[in-house]
Amino acid sequence: MNNKFPVLLAILALVASSLACALGGGDPTLSNTRTALDEDGVNTTSAFAPSDTVYVVNDLANGVRGNVVSSAWYAANVEGYEVDSLIDNVEYTVEDETFDGTVHFFFEPPDGGWPLGTYRVEVSFNGALSSTVEFTIQ
């Protein structure tokens, strides 16, 4: 009987941790920021054609109402733009009570296509820089 007690405690600990994960909990986290050809972030790439729509996709875990994910898009080294010039800011605020999934931003190509060069997107979570990704238009 004494040998079974530690095993029973281990099983109870596993069940409790599984329930905690299933019921949510933990701090909201934004991770796995990537550039892609699709809003789900499955077809990742950092090189795009001038006619491509560019997606920046993030995974949000344990998100709650009021969390803010924002992106600032820059022309890092693009002919016709000043170096590191801001193109646009985009913001998403979680409206659901809880949220686990992907948050994506996208820009469709401008008329005539994206100018060739290197671009940068800075992604912030609740006002703090979370990650930076670069992509090229070639």
Amino acid in position 55: Y
Q: Architecture of 26-137 per CATH?
A: Sandwich (2.60)
Predicted confidence (pLDDT) per residue in 4-45, tens digit: 544 444 454 444 444 444 455 699 999 999 999 999 999 999
- pTM for this entry: 0.80
- In this prediction, residue 37 carries a pLDDT of 98
Q: Strands 128-137 and 85-93, how do they pair? A: unpaired
